[in-house]
Structure 1
Amino acid sequence: MTNQFNPQNNQQGAPSRPAPVYPPPVSFKEWMISLLLMAIPVVGLIMLFVWAFSGSTNPSKANYAKAGLLWAAIVIVIYIIMAVALLPAIISSLNSSSYY
């Protein structure tokens, strides 16, 4: 009589899963080129969109680009809030000053 709970005799158990296949890491050279491109103002923003939403981009670089776009959006919103809050004060100070 065989014991059905014996791990050595588990021929009818669940099939083993294959090991997950991960994409290759982004190389040092590729990161250096990416950071150089991101340092160029307009090109960097365009490349962030390309890397974030392209299907062929390495997942780690795509996540980095999405995080970069999120930070850019946060900074733009803060700039807009500051402009709306400070613009009336700047305009009123310019109107009240005189150069006689």
Structure 2
Amino acid sequence: MDQNNTPHPNVPNDTAVMTVKDWIITFLILAIPIVGLVMIFVWAFGDGNKNRKHFMQAYLWLMLICFIIMIPLVFFITKNLPAAAMQQHNFGQPAYEAPMNNMPSEKFDANSLPEQDSSADNMLEQESEAASEVPEEVPENAEAAQ
């Protein structure tokens, strides 16, 4: 029989060695979003197993150190990165204005357009003549046509 899993009669329960099953249950509880955060504080500052208590206190210290390191890093990124990205990729302008940078700055003048080809006018006249040649009376059924 494994003597590590059975508590010794003279050893208090809060210093007993935690089994793998106990640690798996602990990590599953920590994985629950809000419950896990609350349980970190409960286990770190409450009464219970000393092994779990010391682990949660160390976990809180590491979280605090990471938080202190991340604050200046986040401020640096949010301050400098968007401006550099906007300069590099020409952000900040609407997409429809970007192609117009190569156009001359003069205003549009309808008189400066080249004259239209007269073939388009001829096509319109031919279409209207062809439409006028179609007979206006169309029989409603086949018997009236015969």
Q: TM-score range by the shorter chain?
A: 0.5 to 0.7
Q: What TM-score do you get using the length of structure 2 for normalisation?
A: 0.47
- Where in structure 2 are the equivalents of 1:1-100 lying within 5 Å? 21=11, 23-55=15-47, 57-93=48-84, 96=87, 97=91, 98=93, 99=95, 100=98
In the TM superposition, residue 90 of structure 1 has moved relative to its aligned partner by 2.6
In the TM superposition, residue 54 of structure 1 has moved relative to its aligned partner by 0.3
SS in 1 for 2:57: helix
Cα distance in 2 for residues equivalent to 1:47 and 1:37: 8
Cα distance in 1 for residues equivalent to 2:45 and 2:73: 30
Which amino acid is 1:85 matched to?
Answer: F
Which amino acid is 1:49 matched to?
Answer: F
**The structure with more radius of gyration:** 2
- Map of 2:131 onto structure 1: none
In the TM superposition, residue 42 of structure 1 has moved relative to its aligned partner by 2.6
Cα distance in 2 for residues equivalent to 1:74 and 1:43: 22
CA RMSD, Structure 1 to Structure 2 (Å): 2.1
Q: What TM-score do you get using the length of structure 1 for normalisation?
A: 0.65
Note the residue ranges of structure 2 that are not aligned, 5 or more in a row: 1-9, 99-146
Which amino acid is 2:78 matched to?
Answer: L
SS in 1 for 2:18: coil
Range moving further from structure 2, 86-95 or 31-40 = 86-95
Aligned residues: 80
Which amino acid is 1:80 matched to?
Answer: I
Which structure has more relative contact order (CA 8 Å, sep 6+)? It is 1
